[in-house]
Structure 1
Amino acid sequence: MLDETTRQFTQVFNAVCAYGWQHSEKNGVRLHHATYYDLREAYPRLNANVLIQARIKATEALKSAFDRKAKGRKAGQPQSRQCPIRYNERTSVLNWQTQEVCLSTVEGRILVPFQVPPYSSKYAGYQVTTADLCIRNERYWLHVVVSVPEPDVPQSDEVIGVDLGLNRPAVTSNRHFLGSRHWKEVERRRFRLRRKLQSKGTKSAKRHLKKLSGRSLRFHRDCDHVLSKRIVEHATPGSTLVIENLTHIRSTSKIRKKTETSRRLHSWSFAQFHTFLSYKAQERGMQVVKIDPRHTSQTCSQCGHQARNNRRSQSVFHCRSCGYQLNADLNAAYNIRDKFCLAQGGTSVLSGPLSDGLSSHASV
């Protein structure tokens, strides 16, 4: 029954996507009026609310595809071979005590037992908002979204600047260098393997490339989870995390094409990282703020002198004016923090000058 429900849900999703793409339509209301009644007649056994959720998913996919097309990027008609069913409070009832969930199918409602993975057990018992039923390796997984109340954490005056980069994933103004150098080597190894498989061009090589693509996506996702968790763990609950607004960095960057740095820049999942950091910080009563990243790497956090040649190398910052020297990423983290503090009240939240960095000729 779940297999048949998934099949019909996928067909509805593809039908709405086909109509929207052919008519250049991405408005959810107009798509609903144009497709709902025909789809209800074509799929009478599919719950009406489940059918509407398929249309909503198709609308989201169409909006993403049209946005890519408007930016001049490669985009085609969205299509799915096995679209996960989206359930809400009207089409599913989850009981945390008995660990059973009631789901709508083409044959009516069925009661299915479930198990909560250990890493998700802390969220068990909260109010369920939506859930997606996925099939992975011939097993069903219910991805449940729960509503967690805001924590009662007293607000702190601490502000922490976070410099994100390709060489060092994250450096904080409270002097924590986070991330692993092993991540970069894993990416290099996979790039060499991908290039070797692409040169072969056989069917088995293409199958291997497809598996490698999924593995890389999961690896990036795991790295973003680990990095965001480490940043939150090293911050005081109730404090403010300040990061750079890296939107459009791929189009504004002056890095030469066809280099390792350019390749890593275009595979940098900073938007996903910001999402993970935001909800992890929210759980501890912290807020995440974005600021303009311009000149944060060229400005001395000690005297404020700005010059391109202040940064002698990727890792060394040496001010041409006052001689202040320290790690370049740490200097940028200080500037990010101070830039936010100046915008808020004109003074730093810390005692002393705007940057309490390392002593004048020290390096990290």
Structure 2
Amino acid sequence: MLDETAQQFTQVFNAVCAYGWQHGEKNGVRLHHATYYELREAYPRLNANVLIQARIKATEALKSAFDRKAKDRKARQPQSKLCPIRYNERTYVLNWQIQEVSLSTINGRILVPFKVPPYSSKYVGYQVTTADLCISNGRYWLHVVVSVPDPNIPRHDEVIGVDLGLNRPAVTSNRHFLGSRHWKEIERRRFRLRRKLQSKGTKSAKRHLKKVSGRSLRFHRDCDHVLSKRIVQNATSGSTIVIENLTHIRSTSKIRKKTETSRRLHNWSFAQFHSFLIYKAQERGMQVVKIDPRHTSQTCSQCGHQHRSNRKSQSLFLCKHCGYCLNADLNAAYNIRNKHLASLGISLASGSPSDGLASQASA
């Protein structure tokens, strides 16, 4: 019953996507009026609320595809082979005590027992909102979204600037160099493998490419989880974490195309990292703030002198005005912190000539 429900859910999702793509429509209300009654007749056994959730998912996919198309990026009609079923509070009921969930299917409600993984046990008992039923290799996973109240943690005056980069994943103003150097080498190996498989073009090579793509996505997700967790762990509860606003960096960057740096920039999942950092920080009562990243790498955090020649290399910053010398990423982290403090009307000159290259601490 779950398999058949998932197939009908996927067919509704694809039908709404096809209509929206053909008519250039991404508005959820207009898509609902244009497709709901026809799909309701075509799939009478599918719960009405579940069908609406399929339309909502299709609307989200269409918005993403049309946004890519507007930016002159590669985009095509969204389509799914097996779309995860989305449930809301009207179509499923979860019982934490007996670990059983009631799910709507094409044949009515069914009761399904579940197990909570150890890493998710801390969320048991919280109020549930939506859930997605994912089916993979004959196994069923219910991704439940829970509503967790904000922790009662007093605010702390500490402000930590975080410089994000391609060479050094993250450098904080409290002098922590986070991330691992082998991440970059893994990406290089995967890129060489993808290029080799693409040049072959055989069926087996394409199957291998699909597997490599999945591994790469999971690897990026794991790296973002590790990096965001380390940033939060190295900060005081209740403090403020300041990062750069990198929303339009791909379009505003002056890096030459068809280079390794350009390729890594376009594979940079900073939006995913930001979402991970926000919810991990919320658990410890922290606030995440974005600031304008312009000139943070060219400005001296000691005297405020700004010039592009201040940055001698990727890792070395040497101020032409006062001679202040330290790691370039650490200097940028200081500037990110100071920029936020300046917006609050607080002036802080961080660092001293002794905060040089020898201060790097690996994590």
Show CA shifts across 1:336-355 (max 9, x none): 0001101111323xxxxx21
Q: TM-score w.r.t. structure 1 length?
A: 0.97
* 1:157–1:268 CA distance, 2 compared to 1 (3 A): same
2:106 maps to 106
Give the structure 2 partner of residue 285 of structure 1: 285
Residues 1:123 and 2:118 aligned together: no
Superimposed CA distance per residue, residues 233-292 of structure 1 (whole angstroms, 9 cap, x where no aligned partner): 000111100000111111111111121111111100011100100111011111111101
Deviation at residue 357 of structure 1 after TM alignment: 4.1
Corresponding residue SS for 1:314: coil
| Counterpart check, 1:151 vs 2:151 | yes
Corresponding residue for 2:269?
A: 269
The residue type equivalent to 2:22 in the other structure is Q
What SS does structure 1 have at the residue aligned with 2:167?
A: coil
1:209 match? 209
Match of 1:41 in 2: 41
Distance in 1 separating the partners of 2:356 and 2:12: 65
Taking the TM superposition and a 5 Å limit, the aligned residue runs for 1:1-364 are 1-348=1-348, 354-359=349-354, 363-364=358-359
Q: Kindly provide the amino acid, as one letter, of the partner of residue 64 in structure 1.
A: S
Q: CA 1:280–1:358 in structure 2 vs 1: closer, same or farther (change >3 Å)?
A: farther
Superposed CA deviations along residues 278-320 of structure 1, whole A, max 9, x for unmatched, are: 1110111111111011111111111111111111111111111
Alpha-carbon contact 1:334-1:357 (below 8 Å) kept: no
Contact 1:229 1:280 in 2 (8 A): yes
Q: How many angstroms apart in 2 are the aligned matches of 1:256 and 1:363?
A: 32
For 2:5 and 2:174, locate their aligned partners in 1 and report how far apart those are by CA, in whole Å.
Answer: 52
- Give the fraction of aligned pairs with identical amino acids, expressed as a percent: 84
The amino acid across from 2:101 in the alignment is V
What SS does the aligned partner of 1:97 have?
coil
Rounded Cα–Cα distance in structure 1 between residues aligned with 2:353 and 2:195: 44
- Tell me how far apart the structure 2 counterparts of residues 108 and 140 of structure 1 sit (CA, whole Å): 18
Task: Give the Å deviation of 1:199.
Answer: 1.4
Q: Which runs of 5+ in 2 are unaligned?
A: none
- Take 1:107 and 1:362, find their aligned partners in 2: how far apart are those partners? 66
Aligned equivalents of 1:314, 1:128: Cα separation in 2: 46
What is the distance in 1 between the residues matched to 2:105 and 2:322? 71
CA distance, structure 2, for counterparts of residue 347 and residue 251 of structure 1 = 32
Report the TM-score, using the length of structure 2 for normalisation.
0.97
For the Cα contact (< 8 Å) 2:327–2:356, is it kept in 1? no
Stretches of structure 1 lacking an aligned partner (at least 5 in a row) = 349-353
Contact kept in structure 1, 2:311 and 2:317, CA below 8 Å? yes
Paired residues of 1:95 and 1:101 also in contact (CA < 8 A): yes
- Which shifted more, 170-179 or 26-35? 26-35
Deviation at 1:359, TM superposition (A): 2.2
Decide whether the 8 Å contact of 2:96 with 2:124 is kept in 1.
Answer: yes
How has the CA–CA distance of structure 1 residues 139 and 237 changed in structure 2, closer, same or farther, with 3 Å as cutoff?
A: same
Amino acid at match of 1:207: R
Following superposition, which runs of at least 4 residues in structure 1 exceed 6 angstroms of deviation?
none
Q: 1:358 offset after TM fit, Å?
A: 4.8
The alpha carbon displacement at 1:361 in A equals: 6.3
- Give the CA deviation at 1:321: 1.1
Query: Distance in 1 between the 2:223 and 2:310 partners?
Result: 31
* CA deviation profile, 1:39-81 (whole Å, cap 9, x unmatched): 1111111001001101111111111111111111121111111
Amino acid at match of 1:275: S
Q: CA RMSD in A?
A: 1.1
Aligned counterpart, 1:351:
none
| Aligned AA (1:71) | K
